Amino acid sequence: MGRISVLIPDAEAENSKRVALCLTESGRVTLHGLCRRKTAPLRTSSLFATFDCSTEEIEIDSWLGRLDDIVARQQIDVVLPTSDFGIRALSEHGHLLACADRLVQLPEPDAFDLATNKAALANFLALHDIPRPPTVLVTAGLKLPEDCAALGFPVLAKPPLSAGGRGIQRCETMADLDGFIAGRPEGETWVVQELIEGHDVCVNALCQNGEIIASTAQHAIDQSPSSYRPPTDFEFKCDPSATDVAGRLIEALSWSGIANIDMRFDAKRNTAVVLEINGRYWASMLGSMNAGVNFPLLACEALSGSIASNRRPRDGRYFRGKSNMLRSLMGGGEHRIRPSETDLRYFVRDPLRLAWHLVRKVAEPVRNRLFRQYSPVRGPR
């Protein structure tokens, strides 16, 4: 594949910066951005050749029209959505675009909705006998199902549509669970699962009509310091068992596009069990690129039907986030982190964005101090 132009149509999304870094790392991509909000920080990024930004949030019809306009004006080869909103919206409405043939492969809307709802996914996993934690769905305002008595405590109560560990409640006993559910608004559905003893494992995949065409498997080195938040330290290594479970799930869903499948290695059953699926690009994506697999670039190549980039990951470690970058420059800490195992080389590749970030960090305390001093309510002190 020669040089291509790629449009990220939802560049306001949290992980768009990581997608942009992956695409420009290849040296073969001219990158363009479209954002539905003026406040998107990526508008200052040097990674983009052009960046269209609305003065206010725009409705989906206007967004689709802007997207078509940019594709025609900039001669875009590939449209690559990155977020839940972008992928779900273009999965449903992409056929309305004049540039529909420029869209990367996406999951069907029904498959996306099923996979990204923990309650619907739990039923689907049970129906297809795919390894999962013992799970019961409960509804606030109703008596706890009898199946709850068969669960091993402690359990985790999860809201069906949360992400990043938000809203999860640990219950040590049946009485704790009963009290928690009784305190929730009537009619709310909660996914109650046994707490699995083991460690986090994740399979990242690019898929085509129910088949995984590229994947990486990452195991948590340390658990997140924040309860149920995603870990930041990973070891990438071959894991046929987890990849097999992921493959069965992807096939059952007839999934196309990217998928980030969160699992837990069950030490008792010696297998990986599926917890949830993210149908968008994910926070540890640069770790996969460190391991040799560039998922956004592969998605662009898959559109043309000619995949040339590497699909076989190498073993390695990855430590995400600014604190790990700093630690790698100050001896490496407990894990002897090397700068090459962090985001450092990607972070410094975008000097305009870095400068914007630093200026904002410096200016924010000054702005807050002036606001407090000259508040229209309190007046100057």
117 belongs to a structural domain: no
Same domain membership, residue 251 and residue 187: no
Number of domains in the chain: 3
Other beta carbons less than 10 A from residue 161's beta carbon: 12
Q: Taking the model in full, what pTM does it have?
A: 0.88
Same domain membership, residue 185 and residue 202: no
204 belongs to a structural domain: yes
CATH number for the domain spanning 284: value is: 3.30.470.20
342 belongs to a structural domain: yes
pLDDT of residue 373: 56
Same domain membership, residue 206 and residue 168: no
pLDDT of residue 380: 43
CATH number for the domain spanning 73: value is: 3.40.50.720
pLDDT of residue 346: 84
Instruction: Collect the ranges in the chain with pLDDT lower than 50.
Output: 358, 377-381
The number of CA neighbours under 13 Å toward the Cβ of 242 is 26
Same domain membership, residue 286 and residue 222: yes
Q: Which domain holds residue 75?
A: 4-103
246 belongs to a structural domain: yes
- Over the stretch 281-340, which tens digit does the pLDDT of each residue have? 999 999 999 999 999 999 999 998 889 999 999 999 999 988 899 999 999 999 999 999
pLDDT of residue 163: 80
